[in-house]
Amino acid sequence: MQSTVNLWPLIGVAVIIVGFVLRFNPMLIVAAAAIVTGFAAGFPPGKILAAIGTGFIKTRNLPLIILLPLAVIGLSERHGLRERAQIWIGNIKAATAGRLLIVYLLVRELTAAVGLTGLGGHPQMVRPLIAPMAEGATENRFGKLPDTVRYKLRAWSAATDNVGLFFGEDIFVAFGAIVLMVTLLKEAGIAVEPIHVAFWGIPTAICAFLIHGARLWLLDRKLERELGGIRRGAQRDASSHEQGDQA
C-alpha cells in the first residue's frame, strides 16, 4: 500500500519566488516562507517558532563571518585598492580584459578544484580587484570608457568567477554536491566512490574553461571593433580641428 505524499509544504517555494519578484525584504520573505511551510506541514505554532529559533542559534555567527571580511574590503577600497589595481594592470602593455579574465578563470577553477572556494568571489575579489583591473586594461588601450562598456566588463568579471567556481568545485572530492550524489546513488543500490564522481567532473571543467575562454577571447575582438572605431573617429576629429585652426 502506497502512502500519499503531502506536497503542500512546497508552497513555501512559491512564497519565496513571489516575494523576490515583488522585491520584498529578503528577511521577511524567508521568515514568511518558513511559517507558511510549517503550517502547510501541519506543525503547531510552538513547533514552528522552536524550529526558527534553533536555526537562528545555529547560524548566529554566520553574519560575523560574512560581514567582517566585507568591512576589511570596504576599508581597502576607500584607501585606493581599486585605483591601485587599475594603475598596476595599466602598466602591463600586453594586458587586455579578455586575457586577464582567462587567467583568472584558470586560477579560479584550479583553486576551487582543491577546495579553496573562498579565495575568489564577487565581494572579496571581483568587485575590488578583478573588475577594476579589467577596466584598467581596457582604458589603457582605448582611453576613457563609456558606462555601457564599463558595466559590461563588470558583468563579464562576475560571470567568469561564477563559471570557474561552479565547474571547478565539482572536481573537489569533499564537495557537498558530490557527497549528495553518492548518498542518493547508494540509497538506489548503486555503489560509487566519491573520487570517481569527482574524476568525471574534470572533462566538464575542461570544456567549461575552453568554451568560456573562447568567449573571453571574442570579447577582446568585440571591444577592439567597438572602442577602436570610436577612438579612431575621435582622433580624426581632433586632427581635423587642428588643421582647421592652422588654416
Tell me the per-residue pLDDT of 90-114, one tens digit each, with 9 for 90 and over. Answer: 777 788 999 999 999 999 999 999 8
Cell of 241: 580641428
Give me the sign of the Cα torsion angle 13, 175, 166, 204: negative
Cβ-contact 121, 104 below 8 angstroms:
no
Cα separation of 236 and 223, whole Å? 19
What percent of the chain has a predicted confidence (pLDDT) above 90? 27
Q: For the chain, which residues make up each domain, given as ranges?
A: 8-58, 70-246
Longest dimension (CA), the chain: 98
CA angle 155, 157, 158 (to 5 degrees): 65
Question: Ranked by mean pLDDT, which of 31-35, 66-70, 72-76, 105-109 comes out on top?
Answer: 105-109
Give me the sign of the Cα torsion angle 162, 164, 168, 169: negative
SS3 237: helix
Who contacts 100 (Cβ-Cβ below 8 Å, separation ≥6)?
Answer: 89, 130, 133, 134, 137
Q: What are phi and psi of 61, to 5 degrees?
A: -85, -10
Cα separation of 158 and 105, whole Å? 11
pTM, rounded to two decimals: 0.67
Cα separation of 29 and 39, whole Å? 15
Cell of 56: 537562528
The amino acid occupying position 224 is E
**What integer pLDDT is reported at residue 160 of this predicted model?**
96
In 3D space, the residue among 139, 160, 142 whose CA is nearest the CA of residue 214 turns out to be: 160
Question: Ranked by mean pLDDT, which of 12-21, 72-81, 88-97, 157-166 comes out on top?
Answer: 157-166
